[in-house]
Structure 1
């Protein structure tokens, strides 16, 4: 039986809505990442917790497998009939501001997937976070991971998230090459430059999704 992209999105959302924790704590999540994954020391632990915790849920209940390769070391998060990427995004940042866009994946890799596959979708968990403004979580993590704190200049230290509460789950759909071209022309998908690596070579650009401009017909909710 053929399933549509929207139908598959709803199945994914139903599983995550039922089984992914609505509230989660940094310390317990970081411990889980250490125990079950290779993504144990990521500063953006919450995003990796969402991806890594969700993947076995989806494969156990819906089948499927890891998505196509993006780079040598990274793949899209999930694939069944369609390719899916999972994004956990802050409702507000550490300064209390609403993020205007979501950074997606490598432009060239995404274009290749859109060319080769039926379509790509993004599962987005909009999450309210509490931030480690006093540095207590950072201190705990350095001790837990037996890591020497890095000396950085003013404004260079990344502020960790201490806990999260999922407020909303939704899917955003892009169907085929024509769908991406239309999204670019409508302005809700754009290109995000990545600057340069430490060796001076330019980093490949990524796509970005402008949240307030996503057409309602491209959004799937339960």
Structure 2
């Protein structure tokens, strides 16, 4: 039995995906969420052993989109696999999803059997399943010059970080502690601590090491 979660802001899309999965007795739907923010909130109420093994993640969603959710989720919950399930087949979305840590990239038009096989593939073989059209585009991307990693500014927009939070995050990424950041920005260490806690909350991370892992992953340092 493979446990699965669906994250999509469109109720009709969620129902369509559920209908595709329902005939398969080895697939257990743990929960649904309407965006990345709600996905992380629902995880908080589950014990680690009850986490979904695979999350079918849409890309374009309000509050917190799929790329941002996968980027943070792959750091905080590395045991969970993320398969993008979307209508988008353009280069930028494919590249961003792979960089964020997606284990697969499928189109919503794919047949139920293909989606179920992809879910089994990432769990049993740690594979990277893709729709044929996506696989062709991914191969083309590999032949092209590498694109720059997601920037800190993109992160700020995706997670709605304030200018001050962004300023402090840059110093955290550089390795400075609370007191050093306070001296540099002429604010109190308690103020820095408050901003850092807000950053953790918005990025859905809970430690400096996870922030640094995200920074290394996106080549900010």
Q: Which has the higher strand share?
A: 1
Question: Considering the TM-score relative to the shorter chain, is it more than 0.5?
Answer: no
Q: Select the structure that is richer in helix.
A: 2
TM-score by length of 2: 0.28
